[in-house]
Structure 1
């Protein structure tokens, strides 16, 4: 597992220098549900000021519903980017021996994207905008580590895991300076690893790192951004207790 974490960290660093894309990936959701009535909520962000709000709920002891809303609004010296994207999915989850959890999700999403490019004098040189659509399949795996982090005379339990997502993306209604332009499509593979540590009660701190790989050599819809998120997770059941 340590080797996987190192690899994910190196891939994340390599993605920071990628070219601008009209798509910024929201983090794959990793609720790791274990029974009916369990609720998962997460709020995370990263160095790109990309915010993600996620939630999931166990509808039965094996069926779950999940959703994500991701928002990126940032201004740089040469461009402004505005991307809002939402996803919804249904999944199957099961508890395995030795405190392990397996989940499989299928879903889709959509949103809008805009990029305003500027020259050195801060004059607009080009505006690109369009709509985004996605369908995806994802597999999650996690387990609770036997050892804890011992800090300030306290033990902080660890949970770690991985998620593998395959997505088909489309850039629709694409316009450049208000004029219709050909859209693009791509197939993305998004492997990530995550680590959680319990802070207090149902509240956990979560770190996500990974990368996005594109199978098509596009100009606008491409795998140019890594996945790195730090956030807070809340796991509650119907009795508002932490699932052990």
Structure 2
């Protein structure tokens, strides 16, 4: 019997070695007010299938995601992402929600392909302080976003053997292109012009089957901003670890399926 802590460490090692580069989850620049939520990748296969996930990263940026196939080949998905943290020199608050509709299909080799169109919005603020804990600058605003995203499952599969158990692995890719705008932008209460940026996020993920409908997922990639600016920088790494559940779908593409 493998002790649970050792089992978790072994599974995490297998996820990282299984094809997802473990990028450092550093923030893009010290003044960025946008923290991209992780792309959702439900990989639905049939009507009435449900997908849900909860994930986080080293920055305590939590994301809750869900998707439901309301018709053959058609689905709706949603994401809520939240980051609230306070350090000695700054406090950051970020709340963001997305909704999308998409098309999914099975490819001839039984893999899954999805295309989603969506929009989102939220609020963001940052308070900076000096060593005496006096506020030196406050930035705040609202965010809006539109995006298109493509997901597909890889044919590559393998298993990791731990103790007396085999844990099947599967892999996939998500490509998201977004236009994000910072609105109602204020610095120390003074209004600023809106700022926009086009952001491209190529993401890969590895999933390991735990038990029943539950899987552990490691998502990693990069976010690239096409228009450099001080407040919507997006050249930060994406690194999310989460738990996902899938109910009611076909398992032919999933770990351990043949």
What is the TM-score with the length of structure 2 in the denominator?
Answer: 0.86
CA distance in 1, matches of 2:19, 2:130: 39
CA distance in 2, matches of 1:184, 1:4: 39
Residues 34-66 of structure 1, C-alpha deviation per residue, up to 9 Å, x if partnerless? 000110000000000000000001112200100
Q: 2:224, 2:236 within 8 Å by CA — same for their partners in 1?
A: no
Q: What residue number does 1:75 align with? A: 86
Distance 1:224 1:75, change over 3 A: farther
> 4+ residue runs of structure 1 moved beyond 6 angstroms?
none
Q: What residue number does 2:184 align with? A: 173
CA distance in 1, matches of 2:173, 2:75: 18
2:29 is the alignment partner of 1:19:
yes
Aligned counterparts, 1:47-126, within 5 A: 47-126=58-137
2:195 is the alignment partner of 1:188:
no
CA distance in 2, matches of 1:104, 1:4: 25
What is the TM-score with the length of structure 1 in the denominator?
Answer: 0.91
Q: 1:25, 1:225 within 8 Å by CA — same for their partners in 2?
A: no
Name stretches of at least 5 consecutive residues in structure 2 with no aligned partner.
Answer: 1-15, 253-258
Number of matched residues? 236
Q: What residue number does 2:12 align with? A: none
Other structure's SS at 1:29 match: coil
Task: Give 1:211 shift.
Answer: 0.9
CA distance in 2, matches of 1:154, 1:121: 55
Task: Give 1:145 shift.
Answer: 4.0
Task: Give 1:4 shift.
Answer: 10
CA distance in 2, matches of 1:146, 1:184: 43
Task: Give 1:98 shift.
Answer: 3.2
